[in-house]
Amino acid sequence: MKTVILFYSRTRKTAMVAKTLAKEVGADLVEVTDLTDRTGPLNYFKSALDAVRENKTNIKPEKIDLSPYGLIYIGGPTWASKPAPAIITLIDQCKLQGKDVIPFTTVGRNTAGQATFATMGNRAARQVINRMREKIEARGGRLVNSFIIGTGGLSELEIEEEVKNAVQELDLPIYGF
């Protein structure tokens, strides 16, 4: 069985994480697009509100065939301590019975002096992972690991390094098939 990474990214930070991860663990990559306009300061606040309320949104692709995959990574940004609406919508559309799942989130704030990828990282990001866990388990998925990447103030190269550290530290390739 193969591995796939499903991700949503508004400002390309999670995209950078997902691309690096795909190389490191040998996975296919599927980007999910949110059809709601999330650009500009007004939409920023609306987006935070949508996240807090867990409002659904329209995403593309509408359906993803997960049958070739045994392990599924699902990742997106932390918005106001919640998963972005595209991620909530995505999980609700996925058939996860019999699948191993690894949720991850990226977050603006790094917690000084702590490994950003550890589950002990940023509180908002931990809440996101917990919410994703609840939703994944409700869909029949088995959560085998999770991680958080702090992106605030980091260059693309530094984000890549964070991902490589997380892959090594959490031994993520052992979950592959």
Ligand X SMILES: Cc1cc2nc3c(=O)[nH]c(=O)nc-3n(C[C@H](O)[C@H](O)[C@H](O)COP(=O)(O)O)c2cc1C
Contact set with ligand X (CB under 6 A):
9-14, 44, 47-48, 77-81, 106-109, 122, 124, 151
Q: Which is nearer to ligand X, 73 or 79 (CB)?
A: 79
Could you tell me the smallest distance in angstroms from the CB atom of residue 174 to ligand X?
26
Q: Which is nearer to ligand X, 34 or 100 (CB)?
A: 34
Could you tell me the smallest distance in angstroms from the CB atom of residue 101 to ligand X?
19
- How does DSSP assign 79-123, residue by residue? ETTEE-HHHHHHHHH---TT-EEEEEEEES---TTS-TTSTTS-H
Could you tell me the smallest distance in angstroms from the CB atom of residue 148 to ligand X?
10
**What span, in angstroms and rounded, lies between the C-alpha atoms of 52 and 81?**
8
Could you tell me the smallest distance in angstroms from the CB atom of residue 153 to ligand X?
10
Q: Which is nearer to ligand X, 37 or 137 (CB)?
A: 37
Contact 70, 63 (CB under 8 A): no
Q: Which is nearer to ligand X, 77 or 103 (CB)?
A: 77
Q: Which is nearer to ligand X, 76 or 141 (CB)?
A: 76
Which residue type does 142 have? R
- Residues in a beta bridge with 147: 104
Structure tokens at 95: 């058939």
- First CA to last CA across the chain, in angstroms? 6
**What span, in angstroms and rounded, lies between the C-alpha atoms of 75 and 105?**
5
Could you tell me the smallest distance in angstroms from the CB atom of residue 31 to ligand X?
10
